[in-house]
Structure 1
Amino acid sequence: MKSEITYLGNIIRVDSGTVEVEVSNEIPSAAPIINGRLYKIGQIGTFIKIPIGNITIYGIVSSVSNTPSKSDEYNLKYSFGSRFLTIQLVGEKIGDDDFEKGVGTYPTINDEVHIVIEKDLLDIYGKKDNGSIEIGKHSSSENLSVYTDLHKLILRHCAILGSTGSGKSNTTVSILKAILNDYRGSRIILVDPHGEYASAFPDAKVLKINEPANPLFIPFWLMSFDELSYFLIGAKPTDDQKPDYRLFRELVTNLKKSNCTLKSGVVNPDFVTADSPIPFSARQLWHEMNYWLNATFSTSNKDDQTKATASIINIGNAENLQPAQFIPYPPNNTAPFKSKHQEFYSYEKKILSRLRDSRFDFLFNPGDYKDANSTKDLHNLLNDWIGSNKKLAILDLSGVPFEVLDITVGLITRFVYDSMFWGRHETYTGKNRPLLLAYEEAHNYLSKSDNNSYSKEAVEKVFKEGRKFGLGALVISQRPSEISETILAQVGTFIALRLTNSGDQSIVKNSAPDNLNSLIDLLPSLRTGEAIIVGEAIKIPSRVRLNLNIPRPTSDDPKLVEKWLEAHPENDDNYKTIVTRIRQQKF
């Protein structure tokens, strides 16, 4: 064995998960050429193998020195110039069986250690099969493809993490394209807050706020009552002890119960609650509140102040936000009397201001999904998102105001989750056709510090329970330390690009096996487009180069030097269009 060209040295010390190797002085070069390929001895993160009979144990180089790592006594036994490697054991291969993580048989003192060549790497990573996708090339071999188990990657959830400029967007495109190209029945929804990904997926279905061709509509009545009350009036679930809040819930419930004949089917009003996703008019809600606040009545008894005793002149127009008109009440306490229904006093003007804000048109005026009489219902919305012949739907949220981004993502997530839960036994969805939900810029709306986040609550539910109903999730972020700990705890596979912040690095380090932290320590020095992949979907934690994709997302850096070398003519009209967009919050 020592005569083999792959021979590296012998073991001089063994711990439970670590061995120390003295590199043989007989090796003529620190970079031997084997089968026409140059191998660097002692590269951090590279593999070695320890053959013991029909068992081959594999390890990763974690440190290199010219003295043993333990006791100074060793320094008396080894001459200056000796080289020592610290190896972390990662797995073994018995005979012709597949490589397995973990070590059952440990090496001993003086066992031989050999360089791992490409053939050995192929034994570890295997060949592509029907249940895997190629995620990139191994950093130590341009010819070795690295594959991940698709089932575990999706249904055990995954995360793509990396500092700005490390190649996150390109990595996302690589993975999604690998899935879309290999699996004709795949389904993916990509939540895209900045509108960056449409350019990278020309064949995707792109739905965008205020886009005439493919508008993205998210009807406000999809909200649960807690979400609706928070959005419209700033109320919290803890307000349910207040009489006004309970009356508000009752009013919303009654409006929904009056619209139970729908395009997707008739709903029994007895089963309708304030949380039921049934169309109703927010303008009618405001109009009803305004009516009771400003009406005058022929009686001063509150219990008798009903619509039958109202002194009305004109019913107004809810759709045009025109309030009803009443005979003014006199100052001398005679009929008609002022309304004593003041329960909605603090709510009515808040709702009116929301309705008049054009930034929320995608919620309040959702085109063909506006009300029970509209031409489309929620089954059409699901078909647009997950039921069309397009395997990838990009929901471009770049036109969504930041203050409602949280609720918007929560709405999308909860609606998709509910569709998978209630359709889990159908042939065309649920467990019979799984779905991947991908969240770009996840730290913006899945923050662990936000205890009242509706998107975080919805996404956490997907991470905790989605697998059972065929729903997997992917989070993409440059600040993993800011993301909900519940979400990160459920991530099965981490794809970590360059991370320079120690808090962000610790997220990945905590998910890796304890004896492979040296690999995670490489995160700050990774090249752009290079990643450390750890977790359930990959056979062994690996350093991988991902392919550069063309066309790319529009998240790449501007060409600063090239643009600053150009001359730009001055013009007083230059910024008119930009200012108009700022004022309208619309492209």
Structure 2
Amino acid sequence: MRTDATYLGIIIRVDSNAVEVELSNDIPSAAPIINGRLYKIGQIGTFVKMPMGNITIYGIVSSVSNRPINSDDDGTKNFIAGSRFLSVQLVGEKIGDSEFEKGVGTYPTINDEVHLVIEKDLFDIYGEKNIGSIEIGKHSSSENLSVYVDTHNLILRHCGILGSTGSGKSNTTVSLLKAILTDYQGSRIILVDPHGEYASAFPDANVLKIGHAHKPLHIPFWLMNFDELAYFLVGADQRDDQKVEYRLFRELVTKLKKENFKLKSGDVNPDLITADSPIPFNVRKLWHKMNWLLNASFSVTPKDEQTEVTAKEVNAGNYDQLIPATFEPYALTNAAPFKSKHIEYYSYEKKLLSRLRDSRYDFLFNPGDYKDENSSKDLHNLLSDWVGSEKKLAILDLSGVPFEVLDITIGLITRFVYDSMFWGRHESYTGKNRPLLLAYEEAHTYLGKNEKNSYSKAAVEKVFKEGRKFGVGALVISQRPSEISETILAQIGTLIALRLTNSGDQSIVKSSAPDNLNSLMDLLPSLRVGEAVIAGEAIKIPSRVRLKLNYPRPTSEDPKLVECWTKSHESDAESYKTVVTKIREQKI
């Protein structure tokens, strides 16, 4: 009714996804008080409603003007002088007492009434919290209105938290994860934390850290498939698969794996073991064998069969201590002992030895109880540590991982978890019967769209494309969405966008927004810290939401610059010895 306190005006133009509203000149105030609460008319991003019998259509204000926009037949826009006008994008409808639904089945027409949406209407839209939803924050236009997201769609349709530095990404991540952990006793989350920021925010989490004395993160190198292994150990990739040394290297790795078919997790049929099978083997033994083949001398010529039987070995060496075997010197003339014909491993052997001697890779080559076939633990123990412990959140702290192998490390973690969910999809305790969320902090540093041979990107893209079917959901957290893989962005079902100031990042988010509601996305540069626009499959209607500040917080917050600079500090050259040692050892 036009006499209602909520009445705004009438519709003067209708498009396929928007309407234009002429505000009534009889509105007594631009900030009416309704039911004791102050409302402001014409605020960008606020809701309006269009009642049509038992159907109520809802829209979001996208622009305000004192001139309506009219287009001639040739497409040119003419401006007609008038009073006050609102452009409104249609977002959904409510039929009778049923729940609010996205999309519009019946469009409003010219001269239909438009009303202000008050707090009661917002409660009708957002509904009450139920077992299938979690509270994500409070609506920006009402401190009393909780905003809920559908947990199923949020996790299994994947989600993204995107925002510039200092916009509140880490706090938003903590809010989201805490809401899940609090509401669901059977939830499972793995947070990949490249900078080691989140342990402080989750004191009860299962924090696994590279090199930690009590809770070390073990990532055995033999979890890699052959492509990853060849790239990491000797710098070879699939483009080398026609080379003799590449094929021989594959055969050697396969042979070592087939020798270890009796395992702690259960015996494996040797005939089914390939170079890609995650079977433990001793990488130092691999190097020792390659070195042996390169440097051995034999009693027979290269044309004959040069084997261990015909070798002129003096000392077997020690592969665990990287001591090569020694042999009788081969003759320079055509006489015994003869030089080895196995020269194929020349470059591979040197690269592998260099890798083994580099202490930065100890977490891969010496993964505690998972080192090789003689170790006390196997992959079932590793899975139990990561996803089967009593603690629902596992934080994998990768701050001690060299940047050069961060890509393979994250790819390895992702692929192993995905494989466990795929092959365990029918088990009662994992797979589809107990889904899992994989969260990736600082995603742009290893999931870049321009990375052509990125193992982590390939693994994470597979989760985004196929993980839903096997109970694996993914969350990416990034300050540079324009640098993230387009495949990943296209698969994000729910977008949590905080303040973004870079125009390139804004355009990517706008084009990736599942609801294509540009009027809300245009607010990105002006959002307050800790405020986000949420759109997508997990939320009933795209919304501007305030997220609460969490304590304890991640260690990603800004330093207290003024407080630090107002103090006097004393230091000398001796004081920096500790810093230099940490730089050299790459340890905090």
State if a TM-score over 0.5 links the two structures.
Answer: yes
Distance 1:11 1:301, change over 3 A: closer
**SS of equivalent to 1:313:** strand
Q: Distance in 2 between matches of 1:532 and 1:542?
A: 6
Q: Is the 8 A contact 1:297 1:339 kept in 2?
A: yes
CA distance in 2, matches of 1:493, 1:39: 29
Aligned twin of 1:114: 115
Question: Which deviates more from structure 2 when the two are superposed, residues 172-181 or residues 305-314?
Answer: 305-314
- Quote how far apart the aligned CAs of 1:344 are: 0.4
Q: In the alignment, does 2:14 pair up with 1:48?
A: no
Aligned to 2:272: 271
| 1:498-540 deviation per Cα after TM superposition (whole angstroms, max 9, x unaligned) | 1112221122212336762111111111111111111111111
SS in 2 for 1:265: coil
Structure 2 residue aligned with 1:573: 574
CA contact under 8 A between 1:136 and 1:545: conserved in structure 2?
yes
Question: Is 1:60 equivalent to 2:60 in the alignment?
Answer: yes
1:73 CA drift (Å): 8.1
CA distance in structure 2 between the aligned counterparts of 1:506 and 1:131, rounded to whole angstroms? 32
TM-score normalized by structure 1? 0.98
Structure 1 residue aligned with 2:74: none
CA shift, 1:175, in A, is 0.3
Q: Which residue pairs with 2:173 in the alignment?
A: 172
| 1:302 and 1:341 in contact (8 A); partners too | no
* Alignment CA distance shift 1:514-1:368 (3 Å): closer
CA deviation digits over 1:308-350, x for unaligned, max 9? 1111111000000000011112333422122121110110010
User: 1-side partners of 2:512 and 2:139: how far apart?
Assistant: 21
Q: Distance in 2 between matches of 1:512 and 1:110?
A: 32
Q: Distance in 1 between matches of 2:475 and 2:304?
A: 55
Residue in 2 that maps onto 1:376: 377
* SS of equivalent to 1:573: helix
**One-letter amino acid of the counterpart of residue 60, structure 1:** I
- Of 64-73 and 552-561, deviating more is 64-73
Q: Distance in 2 between matches of 1:224 and 1:390?
A: 29
Tell me what 2:38 maps to.
38
Which residue in 1 is equivalent to 2:332?
331
Is 2:331 aligned against 1:344? Answer: no
Separation in 1, partners of 2:303, 2:190: 52
Q: CA–CA distance in 2 between the matches of 1:389 and 1:67?
A: 62
The aligned residue for residue 11 of structure 1 is: 11
Post-superposition offset of 1:301: 3.0
SS in 2 for 1:262: coil
Once the 2 structures are TM-superposed, how far is the Cα of residue 19 of structure 1 from its aligned partner? 1.4
TM-score (norm: length of structure 2): 0.97
- Quick one: distance in 2 between partners of 1:514 and 1:398? 36
Q: Please list, as runs of the form range in 1=range in 2, the aligned pairs for 1:181-580 lying within 5 A after superposition.
A: 181-512=182-513, 516-580=517-581
Residue pair 1:17, 1:515 contacting (<8 A) in 2 also: no
Q: Distance in 2 between matches of 1:36 and 1:197?
A: 42
Q: How many residues align?
A: 583
Once the two structures are superposed, what CA deviation does each residue of 1:248-277 show, in whole Å capped at 9, x if it has no partner?
Answer: 000000000011111000011000000000
The alpha-carbon deviation at position 487 of structure 1 amounts to: 1.1
Task: Give the secondary-structure state (helix, strand or coil) at the position aligned to 1:70.
Answer: strand
Counterpart-to-counterpart distance in 2, 1:302 and 1:156: 61
Q: Deviations over 1:133-191 (max 9, x none)?
A: 10111111111111111000000001110011111100000000000000000000000
Deviation of 1:74 (Å): 7.4
Segments of structure 1 that go 5 or more residues without pairing to the other structure are: none
Distance, in Å, in 1 between the alignment partners of 2:128 and 2:171 is 24
Whichever residue aligns with residue 41 of structure 1, its letter is I
Q: Output the aligned Cα RMSD.
A: 1.3
Distance 2:55 2:487 in 1: 40
CA distance in 2, matches of 1:303, 1:485: 55
Q: What amino acid maps onto 1:38 in structure 2?
A: L
Kept after mapping to 1: 8 A contact 2:63/2:87: yes
**AA in 1 matched with 2:123:** L
Q: Where in structure 1 do 4 or more consecutive aligned residues deviate above 6 Å?
A: 71-74
Contact 1:417–1:471 under 8 Å retained in 2? yes
Deviation of 1:215 after TM superposition, in Å, equals 0.3
Query: Is the contact between residue 89 and residue 515 of structure 1 (CA under 8 Å) also seen in structure 2?
Result: no
| Aligned equivalent of 1:138 | 139
Name the amino acid aligned to 1:577: T
**Residue 195 of structure 1: how far off its partner (Å):** 0.2
Letter of the 2:276 counterpart: D
